[in-house]
Amino acid sequence: MPDASRPTVLDAGPDAIAVAAARLRAGGLVAVPTETVYGLAARADDDAAVAGIYRAKGRPSFNPLIVHVPDLAAARALAVFDERALRLAERFWPGALTLVLPLRPDAGLAGAVTAGLATVALRCPAHPVMRAVLMDAGLALAAPSANASGAISPTSARHVVASLGGRIDLILDAGECAAGIESTIVALRPEGGWQILRPGPVTGAQIAGVLGEEETRGGSGAIEAPGQLASHYAPGKPVRLDARRAEPGEFLIGFGDIGGDTNLSASGDLAEAAARLYAALHEGDASDRDSIAVAAIPGDGIGAAINDRLRRAAT
Ligand code: TXA
Ligand code: MG
């Protein structure tokens, strides 16, 4: 039976942030806005709290979580930073970059956070509400996107309610997420070389610029980030890409001068398109149409991340 009293949605002012931080310290789950998407947070050092995330999302336990920290000092208590990692953190933190680094033996994280890997994914977010929660809680917080596993990520509190509803207690509402697409995940290989595990708002060219070397292609080939799984971010209906017009029964997500039922960016701005992508997919999913069609999006800059998500949504 759905529980209509859950979840509580609070405007993310100082009082609500204090309530959320106390809930998190006590081992609870709270959905919190970040600059990329809403995250479902729990304290990262507590097995039961982290288990709650997997349960609420229906997430496979082999899929590790990103750990969020307030600053570089907190990050260095959890992972080994080499000189390259320090340069990336200095340039892009706080912000939409997640670093996969060797886990410190004394990190004290719940085992399920890293799914038993020897590495940990760390991000220092820029959103003032997530930052305030991290600092008030005084804890590292595991936080995957606040949606049921495999479904469309949430860029508003309303999306979180629609996807997780009665499975969580509390959502902090701070309106829509500015970037709208999950953080870029970069793995730095201890033996040298680096690889993008998930494209995002920070582009490969920006990372190569800071590191002074190109991405190492063709690594192990193993799936390290299940965000890389072929089907992910998927609406409950078929998705057709590179559409020029809507076929009968299709909800068309347009771009530029391909109008559509909704348009990602009439002026062809890719940052605006990224910010609107998940809301448009949610809208198509909730519409009375049988399927969704999406106009072609250029692949440069953050367009690479948009096309990555669209390919998985269409699979
Ligand atoms: O923007 C974001 O990153 C959002 C917000 C809430 O911060 N979080 C997010 O988390 O997207 P999630 O759990 O939905 O995605 C985490 C991704 C998964 O694809 C996971 O496999 C990968 O990070 N990951 C986590 N730990 C890893 C590790 N040690 N090695 C490789 N990939 C890892
Ligand atoms: Mg996700």
Q: Which ligand is nearest to the CA of 305?
A: 1
Same domain, 24 and 157: yes
Q: Which of 10-19, 25-34, 144-153, 224-233 has the lowest mean pLDDT?
A: 224-233
Please determine, for residue 232, whether its predicted confidence score (pLDDT) is greater than 80: no
Cα separations in angstroms, 144 against 33, 63, 64, 269, 299: 11, 10, 9, 27, 25
**pLDDT per residue as tens digits for the range 152-207:** 999 999 999 999 988 998 999 999 999 999 999 999 988 899 999 999 999 999 99
Alpha-carbon separation of residue 156 from 33, 159, 162, 272 (angstroms): 8, 5, 10, 15
Of 194, 211, 228, the last residue of a domain is 211
How far is residue 125's CA from residue 29's CA, in Å, rounded to a whole number? 18
Structure confidence at residue 280 as a pLDDT band (50, 70, 90): very high
Do 176 and 252 have their domain in common? no
Question: How far away, in angstroms, is 214 Cα from ligand 1 center?
Answer: 23
Q: Which atom of ligand 1 is nearest to the CA of 120?
A: 29
Q: Return the ligand 1 atom nearest residue 146 CA.
A: 6
- The amino acid occupying position 218 is G
Average pLDDT over residues 40-59: 96
Q: Domain limits at 280?
A: 239-314
Quick check: is 201 in a domain?
yes
User: Does residue 56 sit in the same domain as residue 200?
Assistant: yes
* pLDDT confidence tier of residue 219, bands split at 50, 70 and 90: low
Same domain for 175 and 258? no
Distance 65 CA to ligand 2 centre (A): 9
Residues 167 and 287 in one domain: no
**Residue 119: is its pLDDT beyond 90?**
yes
Please report the pLDDT score of residue 95 as a whole number. 98
* Residue 62 forms part of a structural domain: yes
Residue 66 near ligand 1, beta carbon < 6 Å:
yes
Examine residue 195 and state whether it is found in any structural domain, yes or no.
Answer: yes
Q: Which atom, in ligand 1's list, is nearest to the CA of 32? A: 6
Q: Is residue 98 part of a domain?
A: yes
pTM for the predicted model, two decimal places: 0.92
Q: How many structural domains does the chain have?
A: 2
Give me the CATH number covering residue 14: 3.90.870.10
Task: With respect to residue 230, please indicate whether it lies within any of the assigned structural domains.
Answer: no
Q: What CATH number should be reported for the domain holding residue 270?
A: 3.40.50.11030
Flag whether 226 is in a domain: no
Share of the chain above pLDDT 70, in %: 93
pLDDT of residue 221: 45
53-79 average pLDDT score: 95
Instruction: Kindly state whether residues 189 and 264 are assigned to the same domain.
Output: no
Q: State the average pLDDT over residues 268-274.
A: 97
- 183 C-beta closer than 6 A to ligand 1: yes
Backbone angles phi, psi at 271, to 5 degrees: -65, -40
Pick from 5-9, 42-46, 163-167, 294-298: least confident: 5-9
Best mutation site among 38, 66, 127 for ligand 1 pocket (most ligand atoms within 8 Å of CB): 66
Q: Residue 32: inside a domain, yes or no?
A: yes
| Most distant CA pair in the chain, distance | 58
Ligand 2 centroid to 64 CA: how many Å? 11
Q: Is residue 60 part of a domain?
A: yes
Question: Average per-residue pLDDT in the chain?
Answer: 93
209 pLDDT higher than 50? yes
Give the model's pLDDT for residue 222.
47
Q: Where is the domain boundary, 193, 211, 229?
A: 211
Please report the pLDDT score of residue 296 as a whole number: 98
Q: How far is the CA of 51 from the centre of ligand 1 (A)?
A: 16
- What is the identity of the amino acid at 91? R
Q: Whose atoms come closest to the Cα of 97: which ligand? A: 1
Ligand 1: residue of 182, 188, 308, 312 to mutate (most ligand atoms within 8 A of CB) is 182
Contact 46, 65 (CB under 8 A): no
Name residue, tokens 């697409």: 181
268 close to 258: Cβ distance less than 8 angstroms: no
Close Cβ partners of 125 (under 8 Å, ≥ 6 residues apart): 34, 35, 36, 68, 94, 95, 96, 131, 134
